């Protein structure tokens, strides 16, 4: 499934349109963030019932302020535009566990 970019102007609108969503908050200088990008892309195909978004926190400061990011990469889990969970991980297994806890198994 296609991954959509979010910025400060589209953040609330696009998340509000998504029943189930995950946002990858990243920074271009973050090595683990860049290493996770191909995994995030591949995983988006395995969970077609979930919308996948990316948000460059440095280019979207208002969106970044909507979450508390202790470390990168950071992922926000949303239901109907509302943040229901947030976590940091660079491990695919940890990402899958959190995603499936909220949205069910991959297809």
What gap in Å lies between CA 74 and CA 54, rounded to an integer?
10
Q: Which residue has the higher pLDDT, 2 or 11?
A: 11
Directed axis angle between helix 31-46 and helix 92-103, to 10°? 40
Tell me: pLDDT of 2 over 90.
no
Number of domains within the chain: 1
With a cut of 80, say whether residue 15 has pLDDT above it.
yes
Is 30 designated active site?
yes
Query: Which residue among the candidates 15, 30, 54, 72 is catalytic per the annotation?
Result: 30
Q: Residue 90 to residues 9, 58, 68, 70, 85: CA-CA distances in angstroms?
A: 28, 19, 17, 13, 16
CATH number of 93's domain: 3.40.30.10
Domain span at residue 66 reads 4-103
Q: Which tens digit of pLDDT belongs to each residue from 33-86? A: 999 999 999 999 999 999 999 999 999 999 999 999 999 999 999 999 999 999
Owner of token pair 């979207």: 60
Task: Judge whether residue 106 has pLDDT over 90.
Answer: no
Please choose, from the candidates 105, 101, 51, 98, the residue with its C-alpha nearest in 3D space to the C-alpha of residue 74.
Answer: 98
Torsion of CA 96, 100, 102, 103, to 10 degrees: 120
Q: Which of 15, 21, 23, 33 is catalytic?
A: 33
Strand stretches in the chain, DSSP E: 4-6, 20-26, 51-56, 74-79, 82-88
Residue tagged 């499934």 (tokens): 1
Answer whether residue 4 shows pLDDT above 90.
Answer: yes
């Amino acid at each position: 499934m296609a991954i959509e970019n979010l910025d400060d102007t589209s953040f609330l609108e696009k998340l509000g349109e998504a029943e189930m969503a995950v946002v990858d908050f990243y920074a271009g200088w973050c090595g683990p963030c860049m290493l996770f990008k191909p995994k995030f892309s591949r995983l988006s195909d395995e969970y077609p019932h979930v919308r996948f978004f990316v948000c460059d926190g440095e280019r979207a400061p208002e969106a970044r302020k909507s979450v508390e990011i202790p470390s990168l990469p950071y992922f926000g889990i949303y239901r109907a535009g509302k943040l229901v969970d947030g976590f940091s991980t660079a491990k695919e297994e940890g990402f899958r566990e959190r995603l499936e806890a909220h949205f069910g198994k991959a297809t």
